[in-house]
Amino acid sequence: MNSRHSSEGPGRLEFPLSDHYLSADEIRSGLKSRFWREIVCCRSVSSTNDIGLSLPMDDIRENTGIAIIADCQEKGRGRFDRTWFSPPGLNLYLSIVLRPGIPPSDAPFLTILAALAAAAALTREAGIQVSIKWPNDLLMAGKKLGGILTEARTVQGIITRAVIGIGINLNSRTDDLPPEISGKATSVLIETGSTSSRERIASGIMNEFEARYKKLLATGIFPLVRELRPLLSCLGREVLVTDGASRISGLAEDIDDKGRLVLLLPSGLRKKINSGEITETGDR
């Protein structure tokens, strides 16, 4: 792994210095606070989430965050063991590492938080409106612009390490996309004709994330649920929710005060769903 990190922040992580592909100093200059203890910019990694999961526990402290950003990923991972398309020089691959001290049942809150932070940063920095396909996809023009992969380690019923991976297609052109995703994926460049600075989008997301993370720890998920509701693409639509072998269809009626999807089943019963993948099957 080739990597580079900023010289600021107490207790520097041990990463070999090398390249100029991404600038940690530029990212830091866009940040609003010193919440971010380390910003590690890497050239090529297996997956930024893998780096986050392998950091020594001593480096992961409460009330601070670590950001790991790579120019490209050799084994970028999506949910359900899918590959995340991660070519060099174009897009954002960012993992945020935290010690949130929350129970594992609250881990989905971190995914919601990251999706909201990314949507807000894209609006602020790139001037685009993004919708969220519950629970973790960022959509533009009905196509996938980005996704979130949250992974956590728990000790005695508390999350001691959360790694929240955020992938956003920024500067890929249609021709750059592999055929298997070209029909359903998009990028900021494809939608707007404008290129985006990865550093600027990264610091924008980190600022938005930090503000919401502090709110989550102080007041709980409710304010984030309120922010999420109008951004959801699926509410009022017939959907199929797949989670492993389980498949369940219904009307996506709402999200509850814990961010769970409330599905109105054909039987008239309501079911609250914690995780899964949505396919929209009908109109509003």
List contacts with ligand BTN (CB under 6 A): 47-49, 73, 76-79, 82, 84, 93-95, 136-137, 147-149, 165-167
Measured CA to CA, the distance from residue 226 to residue 128 in angstroms comes to 20
- Is 115:135 a contact under the CB 8 Å cutoff? yes
Nearer to ligand BTN, 6 or 48 (CB): 48
Which is it for the CA torsion 120, 198, 77, 128, positive or negative? positive
Measured CA to CA, the distance from residue 163 to residue 172 in angstroms comes to 25
Nearer to ligand BTN, 91 or 207 (CB): 91
Nearer to ligand BTN, 4 or 144 (CB): 144
Q: How far is the CB of 15 from ligand BTN (least distance, A)?
A: 16
Q: How far is the CB of 171 from ligand BTN (least distance, A)?
A: 15
Measured CA to CA, the distance from residue 171 to residue 192 in angstroms comes to 10
- For the chain, the residue count is 284
CA 7 from centre of chain: 26
Nearer to ligand BTN, 118 or 252 (CB): 118
Give the nearest residue (CB) to ligand BTN. Answer: 147
- CA nearest neighbour of 249 among 257, 238, 258, 260: 238
Tokens at 100, concatenated: 């949130």
Q: Is 68 helix (H, G, I), strand (E, B) or coil?
A: strand
Q: How far is the CB of 34 from ligand BTN (least distance, A)?
A: 24
Q: Return the biggest CA–CA distance within the chain.
A: 60
Nearer to ligand BTN, 86 or 251 (CB): 86
Q: How far is the CB of 151 from ligand BTN (least distance, A)?
A: 9
Q: How far is the CB of 157 from ligand BTN (least distance, A)?
A: 26
Tokens at 270, concatenated: 């309501």
Q: Where are the alpha helices (DSSP H) in the chain?
A: 24-29, 48-54, 107-126, 179-182, 188-192, 198-219, 222-228
Nearer to ligand BTN, 42 or 251 (CB): 42
Q: How far is the CB of 265 from ligand BTN (least distance, A)?
A: 26
Nearer to ligand BTN, 53 or 240 (CB): 53
- CA nearest neighbour of 43 among 28, 59, 23: 23
- CA nearest neighbour of 120 among 138, 107, 101: 138
Q: How far is the CB of 207 from ligand BTN (least distance, A)?
A: 18
Nearer to ligand BTN, 137 or 238 (CB): 137
Q: How far is the CB of 262 from ligand BTN (least distance, A)?
A: 22
